């Protein structure tokens, strides 16, 4: 079974440009999470999808960030326009539907975003 995949693995853009990150969760996983680690800081939660709906977007830093999950499959995270402080590693994770006693979150390899 394929794990969580993310694309691209690394993106270098200039300040003011737009970047779109993609996450493909494990097939059949309803829950999809985005996290971010800025250099030297902790990994922080950004938002949580249940299927195509945003369950919790309390961690989204500002309105330059837009996350979508059309059809409840893969998700995209767009940063527009990108700022220097957006540089970091963006992780995606997925887990099975609610109802289980414990749902493991499986992480992808991350996308390293560098804004110059």
Partner 1 sequence: AQSVAQPEDQVNVAEGNPLTVKCTYSVSGNPYLFWYVQYPNRGLQFLLKYITGDNLVKGSYGFEAEFNKSQTSFHLKKPSALVSDSALYFCAVRTRNRDDKIIFGKGTRLHILP
By CB under 8 A, name the one of 17, 50, 52, 114 that touches partner 1: 50
How many residues belong to the site for partner 1 (CB under 8 A)? 28
- Rounded CA separation 21/90 (Å): 8
- Rounded CA separation 68/76 (Å): 5
* Segment lying near partner 1 (by CB under 8 A), choices 18-26, 68-76, 77-85, 87-95: 87-95
- Return the number of the residue (57 or 68) whose C-beta is nearest partner 1: 57
Which residues fall within 8 angstroms of residue 102, CB to CB, at 6 or more apart?
Answer: none
* Interface ranges with partner 1 (CB under 8 A): 31, 33, 35, 37, 40-45, 48, 50, 55-56, 59, 91, 93, 95, 98, 102-110
């Amino acid at each position: 079974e394929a794990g969580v995949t993310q694309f691209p693995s690394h993106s270098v853009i200039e300040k003011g440009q737009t970047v779109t990150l993609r996450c493909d969760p494990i097939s059949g996983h309803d829950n999809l999470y985005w996290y971010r680690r800025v250099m030297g800081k902790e990994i922080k939660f950004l938002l949580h999808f249940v299927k195509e709906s945003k369950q919790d977007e309390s961690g989204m830093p500002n309105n330059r960030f837009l996350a979508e999950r059309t059809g409840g499959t893969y998700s995209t995270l767009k940063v527009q326009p990108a700022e220097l402080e957006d540089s970091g590693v963006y992780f995606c994770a997925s887990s099975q539907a609610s109802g289980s006693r414990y749902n493991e979150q499986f992480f992808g390899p991350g996308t390293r975003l560098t804004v110059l």
